[in-house]
């Protein structure tokens, strides 16, 4: 409890104690006082029944003690008659006189009550003042100010991202020594926007700026500006920039700026809502009528598409720095940073781990290292081995293994055929990613997983790659159709993802002869105020053509999958038997089984399989796990399809 609050509680307790003592003492007098008549008192004195009498000269009140020990009180004449006093003394009564009390003594009881009441009122007023101060300070900025001593994070602690650090370090250098830049007539950027997927280290880069800058650094989250009171957000923006100007040069870091910087005019409410007022004030502070000198704003977001255009223009956010997912050269130093201080086995090669973790962000890699350490503890091992990294990667990319889920034999067999269909097509088709692992052990939300890993960095997808990938996803459904002449719900997720991406091929990527080189992509969200009432910009006739083209693409790839799996039916059976026996097989084992069943190698040795962490070089894109029960495993890869002319699928004679 704070000292002020503790002191207030103690004062309140003392006041309550005094009040309680006075009330209780007044309710329970210590002795009984008997009221008697004055003449009766004189008679009792003659009968020697009075021991003492105390006479108040001002009021004439007599008090004393009777012979039986009872206290008495009576009203006598004023002034007291001397003859009666003499009579009392003659009757052996001890007579005393009470001098008139002073005004202070008379008022003292009242002063005590006044002081007690006044103290209680002061206590209440202080409480109310504290609450009022809290209400009045609601418009103050909640930004945390950092000095040169903290945080300790520097650019040396941020692995990789040399280009990003160089651009940010220019701002830091400008604030430290502006003379070199002003001599060339260069102006410092007013705002820097860090853009990238979640987990890529945008906030960590900002902490590194705080550690490197050597100037006042204010850190605040976008949600800290918002409050239930109208105008509070704008007030906090004004207060933040006012404090920053007084300490300029300074850096202001706003994390998750999309919470207040979204496009105005959403159409779902008035134009004077709290968020828009906050955004308007920020626009004015960054580059309004009164320029903000010496204050640099660094903001981070993973949704740059929702930001207001006025916020992104030069003069406010002059630079947009992309913080992408790390590539191979950046994943290795990131792993080294997170592995520092951990007991790694001598056989561990972080370079191999980096090659086998394409598409992972910095946060994913940190989680991977931590999961590896946890798995080593579960094995009661003193060091972290490559086995731990492999198991941790499978858990991160495919989900936690569900040992408690018990499948019936017929379900296991169907899942094995389903995954074998995916794996066989992944190995046989030319443009699919190399096969890594197949398992029928339930992981995450999937009952089985077929995982492929890409060979190299891929920034665009060719049509042939999309076709082969979509055909591979059809493999599970087609395998069940060939073997059981029936279908199950296991292909729900495959069909959903294929339908979505086939539609993108037609609507957005121009991969349909019927539609031609036209694109209708509607990725805008309702809260942006775009496409709220109008969801498409093409006719019903075009919509029907799009639906027909999507259906054609999917059916063509289904027919293609039937053709390939029929040709390699023996390989399908071999894979299924191996899965039922071992539950998990790697890519090389699957390739050997398919080649042996085919009678000759389908591909040159080692070109279509990846069986262990980092055994192939140059892998860097997202892994493509294929699920079996309507729920996708992590890190999906785009797929699609096309083929010559679709014909209804015909099953081979059984």
Catalytic sites, residue numbers:
419
Please give the distance of CA 45 from its chain centroid, rounded to a whole number. 92
Please give the distance of CA 293 from its chain centroid, rounded to a whole number. 33
Q: Which two tokens stand for residue 14?
A: 């003392």
Query: What is the sign, positive or negative, of the torsion defined by CA atoms of 20, 24, 25, 30?
Result: negative
What is the DSSP secondary structure assignment for residue 252, as one 8-state letter? E
Task: Evaluate whether 350 touches 336 at the Cβ level (below 8 Å).
Answer: yes
Task: Evaluate whether 590 touches 427 at the Cβ level (below 8 Å).
Answer: yes
Rounded CA separation 487/631 (Å): 17
Identify the three-state secondary structure at position 71: strand
Beta strands, E only, 108-149 = 144-146
- Residue 450 belongs to what H/E stretch? strand 449-452
Q: Cα-flanking dihedrals φ and ψ of residue 123, to 5°? A: -60, -45
Q: Tell me the sheet residues that pair with 452.
A: 435
Beta strands, E only, 184-313 = 191-195, 217-221, 250-255, 295-301
Rounded CA separation 586/439 (Å): 9
Q: Torsion angle of alpha carbons 588, 594, 595, 597, nearest 10°? A: 140
Rounded CA separation 345/343 (Å): 7
Rounded CA separation 59/133 (Å): 54
**How many CA atoms are closer than 13 Å to the CA of 459, on its beta-carbon side?**
3
Identify the three-state secondary structure at position 93: coil
User: Angle at which helices 463-473 and 540-567 pack, to 10 degrees?
Assistant: 70
Rounded CA separation 634/138 (Å): 43
Residue 83 CB: number of other CB atoms within 10 A?
Answer: 8
């Amino acid at each position: 409890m704070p000292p002020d609050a503790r002191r207030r509680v103690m004062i309140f307790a003392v006041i309550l104690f005094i009040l309680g003592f006075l009330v209780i003492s007044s309710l329970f007098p210590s002795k009984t006082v008997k009221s008697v008549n004055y003449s009766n008192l004189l008679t009792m004195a003659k009968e020697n029944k009075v021991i003492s009498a105390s006479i108040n000269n001002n009021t004439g009140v007599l008090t004393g003690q009777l012979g039986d020990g009872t206290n008495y009180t009576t009203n006598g004449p004023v002034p007291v008659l001397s003859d009666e006093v003499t009579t009392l003394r003659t009757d052996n009564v001890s007579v005393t006189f009470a001098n008139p009390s002073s005004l202070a003594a008379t008022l003292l009881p009242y002063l005590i009550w006044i002081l007690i009441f006044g103290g209680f009122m002061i206590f209440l007023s202080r409480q109310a003042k504290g609450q009022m101060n809290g209400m009045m300070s609601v418009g103050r900025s909640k930004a945390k100010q950092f000095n040169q001593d903290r945080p300790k994070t520097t650019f040396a602690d941020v692995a990789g991202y040399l280009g990003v650090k160089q651009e940010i370090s220019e701002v830091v250098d400008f604030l430290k020594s502006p003379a070199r830049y002003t001599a060339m007539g260069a102006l410092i950027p007013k705002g820097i926007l860090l853009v990238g997927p979640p987990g890529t280290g945008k906030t960590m880069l900002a902490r590194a700026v705080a550690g490197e800058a050597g100037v006042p650094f204010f850190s605040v989250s976008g949600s800290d500006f918002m409050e239930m009171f109208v105008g509070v957000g704008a007030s906090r923006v004004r207060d933040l920039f006012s404090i920053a100007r007084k300490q300029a040069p300074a850096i202001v870091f706003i994390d998750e700026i999309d919470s207040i910087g979204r496009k105005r005019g959403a159409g779902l409410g008035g134009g004077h809502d709290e968020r828009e007022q906050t955004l308007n004030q920020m626009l004015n502070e960054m580059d309004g009528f009164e320029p903000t000198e010496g204050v640099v704003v660094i903001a981070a977001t993973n949704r740059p598409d929702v930001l207001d255009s006025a916020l992104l223009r030069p003069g406010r956010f002059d630079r947009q720095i992309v913080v992408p997912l790390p590539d191979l050269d950046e994943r290795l130093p990131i792993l080294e940073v997170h592995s520092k201080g951990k007991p790694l086995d001598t056989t561990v090669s972080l370079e191999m781990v980096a090659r086998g973790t394409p598409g992972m962000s910095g946060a994913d890699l940190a989680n991977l290292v931590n999961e590896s350490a946890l798995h080593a503890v579960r094995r009661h091992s003193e060091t972290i081995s490559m086995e731990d990294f492999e198991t941790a990667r499978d858990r991160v990319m495919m989900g936690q293994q569900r040992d408690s889920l018990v499948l019936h034999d017929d379900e296991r067999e169907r899942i094995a055929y389903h995954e074998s269909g995916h794996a066989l097509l992944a190995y046989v088709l030319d443009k699919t990613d190399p096969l890594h692992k197949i398992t029928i052990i339930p992981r995450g939300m999937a009952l089985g997983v077929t995982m492929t890993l890409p060979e190299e960095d891929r920034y665009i997808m060719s049509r042939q790659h999309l076709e082969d990938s979509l055909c591979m996803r059809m493999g599970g459904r087609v395998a069940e159709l060939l073997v059981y002449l029936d279908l199950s719900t296991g292909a729900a997720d495959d069909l959903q993802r294929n339908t979505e991406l086939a539609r993108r091929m037609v609507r957005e990527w121009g991969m349909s002869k019927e539609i031609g080189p036209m694109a209708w992509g509607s990725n805008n969200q309702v809260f942006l105020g775009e496409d709220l009432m109008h969801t498409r910009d093409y006719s019903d006739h075009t919509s029907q053509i799009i639906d027909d083209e999507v259906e054609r693409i999917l059916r063509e790839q289904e027919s293609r999958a039937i053709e390939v799996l029929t040709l390699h039916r023996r390989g399908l059976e071999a894979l299924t038997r191996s899965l039922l026996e071992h539950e998990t097989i790697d890519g090389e084992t699957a390739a050997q089984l398919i080649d042996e069943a085919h009678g000759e190698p389908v591909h040159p040795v080692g070109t279509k399989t990846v069986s262990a962490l980092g055994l192939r070089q140059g892998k860097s894109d997202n892994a493509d796990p294929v699920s079996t029960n309507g729920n996708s495993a992590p890190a999906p890869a785009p797929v699609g399809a096309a083929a010559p002319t679709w014909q209804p699928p015909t099953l081979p004679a059984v």
